[in-house]
Amino acid sequence: MAEFLISAFADETSTDPDHQIEALKRNRLRLIEPRNIGGGIVDRTDAELDAFADKLDRAGIGISALGSPIGKFGIDKDFDEHLTVFRRALEVCRRLGTDRMRMFSFFVPQDRLKECRAEVLRRLSVMLEEADRAGVTLCHENESKIYGQNPEEVADLLQSLPGLYGIFDAANYVMNDADPLAGIDATLIRPAYLHMKDAIGAEKAIVPVGMGDGHYEEVLRRVDRAMDGLVYLTVEPHLHIFEIYQKIDSHKLKTGIAFDNSDDAFDCAVSAVKKMLTGLGYKEGEDLIWRR
């Protein structure tokens, strides 16, 4: 039986670390998946990383995984160039005290999947070896336009690369007309954790968890049956209307869901996850872990 602990991409409230910490505390969260702290997390200096780690420590907030951009790199580009960035990401993990890194499996033209498969596996194998030496687990997220966009490729990666773990993101499947339930089954070959982000397929629009076609209630039931112990649920809102859209229409998008600011969007996204867990019979403990 699984127990759940909620984390979040708090940079969707602001790129300012202090603002992110405030958002987490306001929503009773004690984990973050850092991605942007005044710039991409992998691009920060050692001094900036140390200052960020100190802020988190003083706030009592831990890191569930590094929200790295690793693997969002064209398969036809020079791999050595990307390895340099990857090695920096491993160092960032060390400095921040996390042993998990979110990553991807390279941008690949979807009509060249078979042609590029061997090179994808070769590159990931090299990265897995280096990550193992560094004590870091690589966690692969299904993402648009990469080798692991669809459940079939995710299953192939996890079956072919024993050191690789899977992150499930229902919205990314829905936005690519893939079945999220097939996606969670593929991820459960060797699961790491889940991203909590939903979408309506017909409208290609991101919505709070439970309002879209991600089948998150059934996803969580399958996770509960398949996994024992603590499972992270990382909230990734993607709900805020950015300024360019606000200038056009500050109230309506395709879904009719809009927010005055990024804090409201973030709070709504977290609340939706907690509401779903409550509906499934889970209760939040004093340690903020959801159990039933």
pLDDT, tens digit, for every residue of 187-214?
Answer: 999 999 999 999 999 988 899 999 999 9
3-state helix vs strand vs coil in the chain, percent to 5: 45, 20, 40
User: What pLDDT shows up at residue 247?
Assistant: 42
Confirm if 211 and 272 have CB atoms less than 8 A apart.
Answer: yes
Query: Residue 115: which CATH number?
Result: 3.20.20.150
Please tell me the predicted confidence (pLDDT) of residue 259: 83
What pLDDT score does 250 carry? Answer: 41
Beta bridge partners of 12: none
Question: The tokens of 231 are what?
Answer: 């499972």
Amino acid 252: pLDDT: 43
Helix and strand tally (H, E) in the chain?
A: 10, 13
Count of alpha carbons within 13 angstroms of residue 116, beta-carbon side: 21
**In 16-112, alpha helices (H):** 17-26, 46-59, 79-96
What pLDDT was estimated at residue 29? Answer: 99
Contacts of 59 (CB under 8 A, 6+ apart): 21, 24, 25
Residue by residue, pLDDT tens for the chain (292 residues) are 999 999 999 999 999 999 999 999 999 999 999 999 999 999 999 999 999 999 999 999 999 999 999 999 999 999 999 999 999 999 999 999 999 999 999 999 999 999 999 999 999 999 999 999 999 999 999 999 999 999 999 999 999 999 999 999 999 999 999 999 999 999 999 999 999 999 999 988 899 999 999 999 999 999 999 999 999 999 999 886 544 344 434 434 455 577 878 999 999 999 999 999 999 999 999 999 999 9
Q: How many domains does the chain have?
A: 1
- The predicted pLDDT at position 110 comes to 95
Give the rounded percent of residues in the chain with a pLDDT score beyond 90. 90
Residue type, 250: S
Cα–Cα dist 84/69, whole Å: 13
Provide the pairing of β-strand 191-196 with 229-235: parallel
pLDDT of residue 246: 47
C-alpha span between 85 and 82 (Å, rounded): 5
Domain carrying residue 174: 2-291
pTM: 0.94
Q: Can you give the pLDDT at residue 200? A: 94
Q: Beta-carbon neighbour count of residue 252 at 10 Å?
A: 11
SS3 for 138? strand
For residue 6, the 8-state DSSP code is: E
Cβ 33 vs Cβ 102: under 8 Å:
yes
Q: How far apart are CA 54 and CA 50, in angstroms?
A: 6
